[in-house]
Chain A
Amino acid sequence: MSGLVGTIVEAWDELRIHRLRVLLALIGVAVAVTAITGVTAAVQMMNQAFKESADRQSGRSVTLDLYAWPTGAAGTAQPTEQQYAAEFDRIVERYGITYATRQLGGPIRFRFPTGTAIVNAQVVDPDYGVITRFRTTEGRWFTDADTQRFAPVAVVNEAFLAALGVTDLSSHPTVQLGTDTPVRTEVIGVYHDEWSDAPPSAYLLYDHVTRWGLLGADMANQTPTFKVWVPPDLAAQLRPLLQRDLAAALPGTQVEVPEPFTGQNVLDGASRWVVLGIGGFSLLLGGLGLVNIALVTVRFRIREIGIRRSFGATSGRVFFGVLMESVVATVVAGVVGVVLAVAVIKNIPVEKMFGGSIEDMPPFPVAAAVTGMVCATAVGALAGLIPAIVAVRVKVIDAIRY
């Protein structure tokens, strides 16, 4: 026990006393560990940013889109919108799907202070917000309670709000929509314009739109798309079942459930190897620097090693001691590297770097940090091996006289 503790204490003492040398030797190792850990974390964040961006476009992984449309075949009656909705509800209930929405997009008339304008609106259910990670810059997205409200509510973009002549929701702005029987709608949420000079756009609740007959002639003839968010491991099984059940329940209807978009993992395949390759190469360079300095140091310390042998240090102890110096040093460098990586990652300007904020920040890549630490320690052991052999091969009497 005292031998092991003594070796570690001795190694630590050496590092403490030669801290400048150690610092110089270990910069490379620390940078390499920072690179491995930091780049992995950054790539994971980038992945998450891409994923969330994709989620906003086409729903979370895995979102299945159910398209149904009448075939127009002779002898079959076209299902009504209510039939579609009822069958869709039945399927959602049958498979215990938690998040599901209808979606229909098209022009709806809004009466702005400057006059009536046709706005491209999306008509959805409240679950749409969860499925697509919908974010408002002000106000809120729809809740289930909103569907029970008598008057419709809307979530609009900033251009829409500007067209209303208001800058925020503090005045609870309203807008009339529809033509023959207009209805006043309260704006409860605002979302960011997708691009500059974006035209006004809005989201409305499906139940409100159908209740008030707000769909234009074009939209009234359309069948809504059904979106369901299902567990990724069940998506492949569910897809044909949903298609089969809906088609069976709605005769004369063509049903399609396309292969879902699963996104792309930036850290997959070649890019992963490039990242690891850069980190590994940095670590190799750091290790070579360490070997170089450790060798010079051992030569510088030959006399000291001789003196320690006169104290009774066995060759094994000398070997292990020199090796441990390198290992302890690289472990310290590894810790510094990981801390640096954490500091960098925590201060990354996410919006600027990835073009959008991240809702679900991925956890710090502990596996990458551990990998970096293990690699650094292994490099330390390898780098310490050569000087340790040199230290042991020195004759004690030559060393004392050195």
Chain B
Amino acid sequence: MSLLELSDVTRSVRLPDDRVLHILRGITLSVDAGEHISVVGRSGTGKSTLLNILGLLDEPTSGGYLLEGTSVAKLSGRRRARRRGDDFGFVFQQFNLLPGRTALENVAAPLMYARGRAFWRRFRLAADMLDRVGLGDRLDEMPDKLSGGEQQRVAIARALVRSPRVILADEPTGALDVDTGGEIMSLLDEIASQTGAALIAITHDLAVAARAQRHYRLAEGVLVPITLNAPGRITEWVGDVPTDRPDDAVATALS
């Protein structure tokens, strides 16, 4: 049984002028525990929407989503929130650290929604996690005093502090320079591997995407498996390519 399983998932919204915008079309994806998957695609192709659906932040318009064999559609709002907190860790492009709180308080924040020992020992756990991402000496630093790379390290520590089953990273290197981005991805890969969490990363950066074991391209709401070579160039399309927009333009933009 897969950890996550999307089958023929669609997501569409009604626009103010009453037209329907199809963001995702027939997405089918299966993710096992510990897998590293990357999704590339241009802006506006539905990457974040896919990530939000996977992370139980959004709901599909149609199709099925099984989380460890349980249909997500059958979960109550409260159960969805609980599973979101228990099973998923989010890393955002803009870090999304809570303002006015120290690095330690930021990392401890998800544990406010945990129960039992994890809740009561939240600051100890947060300090340990910050130590693991190399910020053991910056516990009391405010986010605005940290560099971009350090802020993303705090965000990664925060995403991992509840030992999630799945890490969802939305453009984790988007706000960082190339070198820092590489360091952050190495850290993310390393910690995800150590904790056995599945890592699903959405990125523009093919070099970042190439680190994953499986690669996908999202274009016009359709998810297509691709093969990337080491430097990050698309070498092979697998499956059908959407026909309502020239894909060479997409490939050009990505390469």
Chain A residues in contact with chain B, CB under 8 A?
2-3, 5-6, 9-10, 13, 17-18, 303-304, 307-317, 396-397, 400
B110 interface residue (CB < 8 Å to A):
yes
Q: How far is the CA of A3 from the CA of B85 in the complex (A)?
A: 13
When the two chains form their complex, are residues A311 and B55 in contact, meaning their CB atoms are under 8 A apart?
no
| Category for how many chain B residues contact A | 20 to 34
B58 pairs with A311, CB closer than 8 A: no
**B113 in contact with A311 (CB, 8 Å):** yes
Report chain A residues within 8 Å CB of B52. Answer: 396-397
When A6-B112, A397-B57 are in contact, do A312 and B84 touch as well, CB less than 8 Å? yes
The answer to whether A311 touches B115 (Cβ under 8 A) is no
Cβ–Cβ contact B78 & A310, under 8 A: no
Complex Cα spacing A310 to B113, Å: 11
Q: B101 in the interface, Cβ–Cβ < 8 Å?
A: yes
- Closest Cβ neighbor of A19 among chain B residues: B100
Identify the interface centre among B78, B109, B120: most chain A CB within 10 Å of its CB.
B109
Q: Are B112 and A314 in contact (CB under 8 A)?
A: no
Question: Which residues in A have their C-beta under 8 angstroms from that of B112?
Answer: 6, 9-10, 311
Contacting A6 at CB < 8 Å: which of B58, B88, B92, B119?
B119
- Which residue of B55, B109, B115 contacts A3 across the interface (Cβ within 8 Å)? B115
Q: CA separation between A309 and B96, bound complex, in Å?
A: 12
- Which of the listed residues A2, A6, A10, A303 has the most CB atoms from chain B within 10 Å of its own CB? A2
4 nearest interchain CB pairs? A312-B85, A17-B100, A2-B119, A311-B110
Max chain A CB contacts within 10 Å: which of B81, B85, B88? B81
| Distance A315 CA – B58 CA, assembled complex (angstroms) | 14
Tell yes or no: B246 within 8 A of A by CB: no
Decide if A312 touches B57 in the complex (CB within 8 Å): no
Please determine whether B96 and A311 come into contact, CB atoms closer than 8 angstroms. Answer: no
Partner of B58, one of A9, A314, A396: A396
* A2 in complex: contacting residue of B58, B84, B115, CB < 8 Å: B115
CA distance A352 to B69 in the complex (A): 80
CB closest chain-B residue, reference A396? B57
Task: Give A18 to B99 CA distance when docked, in angstroms.
Answer: 10
Distance to closest chain B CB from A157 (angstroms):
68
Given A2-B114, A2-B115, A17-B100, do A310 and B86 touch, yes or no (CB 8 Å)?
A: no
- Does B77 count as interface, using CB distance less than 8 angstroms? yes
Question: B101 touches which one: A3, A6, A17, A396 (CB < 8 A)?
Answer: A17
Other-chain contact of A316, B58, B78, B84, B101 (Cβ < 8 Å): B78
B96 touches A313 (CB 8 A): no
Contacts from B to A (Cβ < 8 Å): 48-49, 52, 55, 57-58, 77-78, 81-86, 88, 90, 92, 96, 98-101, 105, 109-110, 112-116, 119-120, 162
Q: How far is the CB of A27 from chain B (nearest CB, A)?
A: 21
Is there an interface contact between B109 and A314, defined as CB atoms closer than 8 Å? no
By CB atoms of chain B within 10 A, which of A304, A312, A313, A396 has the most?
A312
Closest to A321 in B: B112
Which B residues are CB-close (under 8 A) to A308? 109, 113
List the B residue with the shortest CB-CB distance to A316: B78
**Residue numbers in B under 8 Å from A397 (CB-CB):** 48-49, 52, 57-58
The SS class assigned to the A binding surface is: helix
Q: B84 and A310: CB pair below 8 A?
A: yes
- In the bound complex, how far is the Cα of B96 from the Cα of A308, in angstroms? 10
Please indicate which of the listed interface residues B77, B96, B113, B162 has the most CB atoms of chain A within 10 Å of its own CB: B113
Q: Which residues of A contact B115 (CB under 8 A)?
A: 2-3
Known contacts A6-B113, A17-B101, A310-B55; can you find 13 more A-B pairs with CB under 8 A? A2-B116, A2-B120, A3-B115, A17-B99, A18-B100, A308-B113, A310-B84, A311-B84, A311-B85, A312-B84, A313-B81, A314-B77, A317-B113
- 26 A-B residue contacts at CB 8 Å? A2-B114, A2-B119, A5-B119, A10-B112, A13-B105, A17-B101, A18-B100, A303-B96, A307-B98, A309-B57, A309-B81, A309-B84, A310-B55, A310-B90, A311-B110, A312-B81, A312-B110, A313-B81, A313-B85, A314-B81, A315-B77, A315-B78, A396-B58, A397-B48, A397-B49, A400-B92
Q: Which residues of A are found within 8 Å of B96, using beta-carbon distances?
A: 303, 307, 400
Q: Roughly how many angstroms separate A316 CA and B77 CA in the complex, as a whole number?
A: 10
- Residue numbers in A under 8 Å from B88 (CB-CB): 310
A133 to chain B, nearest CB (A): 58
Q: Kindly list chain B residues whose C-beta atoms are within 8 Å of the C-beta of A18.
A: 100
Q: Report whether A314 and B119 are in contact in the complex, using a CB–CB cutoff of 8 Å.
A: no
**Chain A contacts of B162 at CB under 8 A?**
312
| Chain A residues closer than 8 Å to B81, beta-carbon distance | 309, 312-315, 317
State whether A314 and B78 are in contact (beta carbons under 8 Å apart), knowing that A2-B120, A6-B112, A397-B58 are contacts in the complex: yes
Contacts of A6 in B (CB 8 A): 112-113, 119
Question: Least Cβ distance of A300 to chain B in Å?
Answer: 10
**Which of chain A's residues have a CB closer than 8 A to the CB of B105?**
13
Closest Cβ–Cβ distance, residue B71 to chain A (whole Å): 19
A1 to B101, CA, bound (A): 24
